[in-house]
Amino acid sequence: MFPTFFYELRKAGVPVSLKEYLALMEAMQAGVAGFQVEDFYYLSRAILVKDERNLDKFDRVFGHVFKGLEGCAATTLEELYAQIPADWLKKLAEKLLTEEEKAQIEALGGWEKLMETLAQRLAEQKERHQGGSKWVGTAGTSPFGAYGYNPEGVRIGQDGSRNRRAVKVWDKREFRNLDDQVELGTRNIKVALRRLRKFARTGAAEILDLPDTITSTARNAGYLDIKMVPERHNAVKVLLFLDVGGSMDDHIRLCEELFSAARTEFKHLEYFYFHNCVYEGVWKDNRRRHAEKTSVWDVIHTYGPDYKLVFVGDAAMSPYEIVQPGGSVEHWNEEAGIVWLERLLAHYKHAIWLNPTQERFWGYTQSIQMLRQAMGGRMYPLTLEGLDAGMRELGH
Amino acid sequence: MTRFEGTKDYVATDDLRVAVNAALVLQRPLLVKGEPGTGKTVLAQEVAKALGKPLLSWHIKSTTKAQQGLYEYDAVSRLRDSQLGDPRVSDIRNYIRKGKLWEAFAADSAPVLLIDEVDKADIEFPNDLLLELDRMEFFVYETGETVKARQRPVVIITSNNEKELPDAFLRRCFFHYIRFPDAETMQKIVDVHFPDLKQELLREALTLFYEVRETPGLKKKPSTSELLDWIKLLLVEDMTPETLRQRDPKKLIPPLHGALLKNEQDVHLFERLAFLARRQGG
């Protein structure tokens, strides 16, 4: 019924499958939507979209497919209308208008004149609302000319017919800010992090230990002797160092996702923040970063070498910040960043650096090359593949 | 089949109505997401009320396993009973405890089954329920019987987005995202809950509420349920519209803000803003 719609959705990156498409057909057959276009919009949205992040894409596709405008780049109602050629409108109007109405148009000064009046009125209205001028330029192919078939068509601005209201529903694009092309969903991160899991039994005894129960019962002359063991828990310990501020601002969302995924996935997760490169102090609370610093020595002494060390940072900085004492942009550091990095690496055998910058750009930044070398090549892009490779490295 | 049109205690927007009806007619589970406090859980109760069906709620916790929704076999008490020579032991059925899903499948008239906060559970939880929700049947290994739904229950699943749900699971559900209501809908909602609220007070309260919501940088924006609580408090404290209208910089924090702002950092943010406003004023 709507194969174009289906393929356009797929092309726009809304993950719809045949199953959902068939469900939509089924719903149409069952008459859920009735014959109103809004209902059809709501119905297809409920069936085809499964994530609020895709709602905006859906709205866009719905808008252009059901307008019959293929692949137009319009993002607003005005632009969309502006792409309807005037001739087409004129023909349509001629087809729909009665002789009487045509006469009325003539009385107003003919079609051209009517269009002009319309454009003028719209321009006035526009200025009052937005003060836009670019829009008036395109008004020659007047969008609202579509309503020209109504001899009282000058009322355009206040037109409140059902259809127009319906158009607004998806053209409002209320879900715009929920759309965020994240390469890595929290779920994906979690699945990748699972590679790191190592199970051990800790905590309260709560599950039945069958082999032990059987042995004990046998030893107990057949009288039941139930033995319990603690449940298995993930015992891997992770120390996470996150770069904050500066060039990392672009990657905050990605890092937050990684962090929230890591946090629920590991029982022992300690995190610290640093800026650009690790120096003698790291901190836990960004707002009090200058007041409450933890010495890196304390970190090394507190968390044993069985912790796995994960740096997250874009490693983009001036090379001085790495090799030069006093090179830090924030404070005077007695020892160079590289010294501190090497200290950490000497203590923690399992360490990786996750870099949110795309791998193909790494070669162009000297500091990335330097840190990659310092990490012994253990720098991975913050993508699913990179995370997977990184976790495998940590698991060795 | 009866259709859902909202109830007198619940304002259902058009899109929500269509989504619920689609799920009812095609008998698919409906997944409801949205900001906390926009009425996801209440929806299931209201759907049950509107359709005159019983409601079964299965609240998911981080330790909930999919199997618990089907049934649990209490092997330990059976072992114990066998030691004591209890006659019940011979029938394994005595030790199988039905879960919510089984209850829903076995009910005489199709109930509304609410699976609340599905995202709280382990990441594999939704995958373990795929077949059960799709075919509405499952197999009991201990007794060798297959439990089949007598009527397909209306399944409503809510999620707070703490975890992403697997694609295969999503494909089997219909989805509705409860958007934060606009001022017009919000007024309707408040009217439903407080029918004799003074219009003036309501207008002031709503203005203030949307102002608070629009403050940039809030960790947790107040939502519908918080607004309702707040209005309840305003009524108890007998606040006048004038108190709310006061735009005294010293009182930038709205009265009884505890009902609206649930996060210490947000209250701090407001205090800081109030401080700045005071400094500018003085």
Q: What is the DSSP string of A60-94?
A: HHHHHHTTT-TT----SHHHHHHTS-HHHHHHHHH
Chain A contact for B22 (CB, 8 A cutoff): yes
Cα B159 from Cα B141, distance rounded (Å): 30
Contact A190 B23 (CB under 8 A): no
Token pair belonging to A148? 């020209």
Exposure class string for A179-218: b at 16+ Cβ within 10 A, else e: beeeebbbbbbbbbbeebeeeeeeeeeeeebeeebeeebe
Lowest mean pLDDT among A37-41, A129-133, A274-278, A390-394: A129-133
Nearest to A32 among B22, B83, B177 (CB): B22
Q: Which of A124, A141, A143 is nearest to A133 (CA)?
A: A124
Query: Across residues A277-284, what is the average pLDDT?
Result: 84
Chain A contact for B63 (CB, 8 A cutoff): no
Domain ranges in chain A are 3-178, 235-395
Nearest to A46 among B22, B163, B165 (CB): B22
Token pair belonging to B220? 């947790």
Query: Across residues A317-332, what is the average pLDDT?
Result: 81
- Non-local (6+) Cβ contacts of A268 within 8 A are A235, A236, A237, A238, A307
Q: Tens of pLDDT along A232-264?
A: 766 778 888 888 766 777 777 677 777 777 777
Cα→Cα distances A202→A232, A265, B166, Å: 7, 16, 29
Residues of A in contact with B15 (CB under 8 A): 42, 45-46
Going by their DSSP bridges, the two strands A281-283 and B154-159 should be labelled as: unpaired
User: Residue A269 corresponds to which amino acid?
Assistant: L
Cα A331 from Cα B88, distance rounded (Å): 76
Cα B197 from Cα B200, distance rounded (Å): 9
Give the angle A208-A213-A215 at the CA atoms, nearest 5°. Answer: 155
Compute the half-sphere exposure of residue A288: CA atoms within 13 Å on the CB side of its CA. 6
Q: What is the pLDDT of residue A196?
A: 66
Residues of B in contact with A50 (CB under 8 A): 31, 167, 170-171, 173, 175
Q: Tens of pLDDT along B124-183?
A: 888 888 888 888 889 998 888 999 988 889 999 999 877 778 888 888 889 998 888 888
Residues of A in contact with B26 (CB under 8 A): 23, 26-27, 30, 32
CATH of segment(s) B14-178: 3.40.50.300
Q: Is the pLDDT of residue A342 over 70?
A: yes
- The radius of gyration computed from the CA coordinates of chain B, to the nearest angstrom, equals 24
Highest CATH level, class, for A235-395: alpha beta
The answer to whether ipTM exceeds 0.85 is no
Lowest mean pLDDT among A175-184, A317-326, A349-358, B125-134: A175-184
Cα B114 from Cα B169, distance rounded (Å): 16
The structure's pTM equals 0.59
Q: What is the pLDDT of residue A129?
A: 43
Going by their DSSP bridges, the two strands B30-34 and B174-178 should be labelled as: parallel
A·B CB contacts under 8 A: 82
User: Residue A311 corresponds to which amino acid?
Assistant: F
With CA atoms as reference, the chain B residue closest to A39 would be B18
- The radius of gyration computed from the CA coordinates of chain A, to the nearest angstrom, equals 32
Q: Is the pLDDT of residue A5 over 70?
A: yes
* Contact predicate A240/A270, CB 8 Å: yes
Cα→Cα distances B24→A50, A136, B51, B152, B168, Å: 17, 48, 10, 10, 21
Chain B contact for A207 (CB, 8 A cutoff): no
Cα B159 from Cα A131, distance rounded (Å): 43
Residues of A in contact with B185 (CB under 8 A): none
Q: What is the pLDDT of residue A162?
A: 34
Q: What is the pLDDT of residue A156?
A: 37
* Contact predicate B219/B265, CB 8 Å: yes
User: Residue B188 corresponds to which amino acid?
Assistant: K
Query: Across residues B195-222, what is the average pLDDT?
Result: 80
B16-21: Cβ within 8 A, 24+ apart:
B16/B43, B16/B176, B16/B178, B17/A42, B18/A32, B18/A33, B18/A39, B18/A42, B18/A43, B18/A46, B19/A42, B19/A43, B19/A45, B19/A46, B19/B174, B19/B175, B19/B176, B20/B47, B20/B176, B21/A32
Query: Across residues B73-80, what is the average pLDDT?
Result: 84
Q: Is the pLDDT of residue B67 over 80?
A: yes
Chain A contact for B184 (CB, 8 A cutoff): no
Q: Which of B19, B60, B4, B12 is nearest to B174 (CA)?
A: B19
Q: Is the dihedral of CA B149, B155, B160, B166 positive or negative?
A: positive
Compute the half-sphere exposure of residue A74: CA atoms within 13 Å on the CB side of its CA. 24
Residue with tokens 């037109």, as numbered in its chain: A159
| Distance of residue B187 Cα from the nearest chain A Cα, in angstroms | 20
Q: What is the pLDDT of residue B155?
A: 93
Around Cβ A13, how many Cβ atoms within 10 Å?
11
Contact B19 A46 (CB under 8 A): yes
Q: Is the pLDDT of residue B234 over 90?
A: no
Token pair belonging to A96? 């729909």
Chain B interface, best mutation among A29, A45, A210, by max B CB count within 10 A? A45
CB interface of A with B, residues 7-66, below 8 Å? 15, 17, 19-20, 23, 26-27, 30, 32-33, 38-39, 42-43, 45-47, 49-52, 55
Cα A83 from Cα A68, distance rounded (Å): 11
Q: What is the pLDDT of residue B230?
A: 86
Chain B contact for A267 (CB, 8 A cutoff): no
Map residue B42 onto helix, strand or coil: helix
Map residue A130 onto helix, strand or coil: coil
Cα→Cα distances B54→A63, B57, B109, B111, Å: 40, 10, 8, 5
Give the angle B22-B26-B31 at the CA atoms, nearest 5°. Answer: 60
* Contact predicate B58/B102, CB 8 Å: no
Q: Is the pLDDT of residue A224 over 70?
A: yes
Q: Which of B134, B181, B168 is nearest to B14 (CA)?
A: B181
Residues of A in contact with B173 (CB under 8 A): 50
Nearest to A15 among B17, B123, B167 (CB): B167
Cα B182 from Cα B9, distance rounded (Å): 18
| Distance of residue B95 Cα from the nearest chain A Cα, in angstroms | 16
Query: Across residues A66-77, what is the average pLDDT?
Result: 48
Chain A interface, best mutation among B3, B5, B16, B21, by max A CB count within 10 A? B21
Compute the half-sphere exposure of residue B231: CA atoms within 13 Å on the CB side of its CA. 28
Contact B123 A45 (CB under 8 A): no
- Non-local (6+) Cβ contacts of A190 within 8 A are A261, A264, A265, B123, B163
Cα A188 from Cα A193, distance rounded (Å): 9
Chain B contact for A2 (CB, 8 A cutoff): no
Query: Across residues B235-257, what is the average pLDDT?
Result: 70
Q: Is the pLDDT of residue A119 over 80?
A: no
Cα A245 from Cα A255, distance rounded (Å): 12
> What is the enclosing helix (H) or strand (E) of B138?
strand B137-140
With CA atoms as reference, the chain B residue closest to A169 would be B15
Token pair belonging to A313? 């940072």
Query: Across residues A14-37, what is the average pLDDT?
Result: 82
Domain ranges in chain B are 14-178, 183-281
Contact B79 A175 (CB under 8 A): no
Lowest mean pLDDT among A64-68, A182-186, A365-369, B273-277: A182-186
